[in-house]
């Protein structure tokens, strides 16, 4: 089975940096995804890590440590539009994609 | 503009009725996922297909739920009979995966806009 943990909520100020952690225990690993989901909308893809290290994409970066079963999503220069739920998802061999419960980020002015 | 299309967007039905949700994956994608999302449970994987074959439907209540892919352009999720506890948003997602060779390759899953189901 798969167990994916991430904090329920985080609050930060506009312009600040927020780091969302994700830990996972899975029977096999074939990549980790981060998705963003605004209220009432579908999840949209943010990043993908399959090897250890940092992947940077504009204001968003994602890090993976396979040996520790750990990832984080870093959001820099926060904007009001970044208020959303951020979902960590792990792909197992056979490409089964399972999601964590999501972290709701609230950006305050 | 390639996108996953789901119909209907909203469905209100009475308990005991059959519900059918449809999904048109992105052309060329070979993997389709069905998820159910509720406030309490988050995104739960119900079933997924690769090349139209069901790979895993262990997350789906077998007695009332069924998922099929009649062809490469259509995936369906049926609930019969529906119950109030089935009320949720149902998402379909599609992606592309190559599972052969030394380096499996896959893309991210692209989600449809979801079907909001309310069973009263």
Name the pLDDT band for B100 (thresholds 50, 70, 90): low
pLDDT digits (tens, 9 = 90+) for A64-79: 999 999 999 999 999 9
pLDDT for residue B103 is more than 60: no
pLDDT (mean) for A7-29: 95
Which residue is closest to A38 within chain B, CA to CA? B113
DSSP category for residue B109: P
Distance between CA atoms of residues A10 and B9, nearest Å: 30
Name the pLDDT band for B99 (thresholds 50, 70, 90): low
Which residue is closest to A99 within chain B, CA to CA? B43
Q: Which residues of A touch B (CB under 8 A)?
A: 30-31, 33, 41-45, 48, 87, 91, 94-102
pLDDT for residue B73 is more than 90: yes
Residues of B in contact with A30 (CB under 8 A): 104, 106
From the CA of B57, how many Å to the nearest CA of chain A?
A: 10
- Nearest-CB residue to A43 (from B99, B106, B111): B111
Q: Name which of B28, B23, B71 is nearest B47 in CA terms.
A: B23
Distance between CA atoms of residues B67 and B91, nearest Å: 13
pLDDT for residue B5 is more than 80: yes
Distance between CA atoms of residues B13 and B120, nearest Å: 6
Task: Report yes or no: B24 and B82 within 8 Å, Cβ to Cβ.
Answer: no
- Nearest-CB residue to B109 (from A94, A97, A101): A97
Lowest average pLDDT, out of A16-30, B53-67, B103-117, goes to: B103-117
DSSP category for residue B81: S
pLDDT reported for residue A43? 96
Q: How many beta-carbon pairs below 8 A join chains A and B? A: 49
pLDDT (mean) for A81-99: 89
| Token pair recorded at residue B8 | 């209907």
- Nearest-CB residue to A102 (from B31, B42, B106): B42
What's the length of chain A?
A: 109
Residues of A in contact with B31 (CB under 8 A): 95
């Amino acid at each position: 089975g798969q167990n994916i943990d991430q904090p329920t909520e985080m609050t930060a100020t506009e312009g600040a940096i927020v780091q969302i952690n994700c830990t996972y225990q899975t029977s096999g690993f074939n990549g980790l995804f981060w998705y963003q989901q605004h209220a009432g909308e579908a999840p949209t893809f943010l990043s993908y890590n399959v090897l250890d290290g940092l992947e940077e994409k504009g204001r968003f970066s994602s890090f993976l440590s396979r040996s520790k079963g750990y990832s984080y999503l870093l959001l820099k220069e926060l904007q009001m539009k970044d208020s959303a739920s951020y979902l960590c998802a792990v792909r197992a061999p056979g490409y089964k994609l399972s999601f964590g419960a999501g972290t709701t980020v609230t950006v305050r002015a | 503009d390639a996108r996953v299309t789901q119909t209907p967007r909203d469905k209100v039905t009475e308990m005991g009725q059959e519900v059918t949700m449809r999904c048109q994956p992105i052309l060329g994608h070979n993997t389709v996922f069905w998820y159910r999302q509720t406030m309490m449970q988050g995104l739960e994987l119900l079933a997924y297909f690769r090349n139209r074959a069901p790979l895993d439907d262990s997350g789906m209540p077998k007695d009332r739920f069924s998922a099929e892919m009649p062809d490469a352009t259509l995936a369906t999720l049926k609930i019969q009979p529906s119950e109030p506890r089935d009320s949720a948003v149902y998402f379909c997602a599609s992606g592309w995966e190559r599972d052969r060779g030394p380096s499996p390759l896959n893309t991210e899953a692209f989600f449809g806009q979801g079907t909001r189901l309310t069973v009263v």
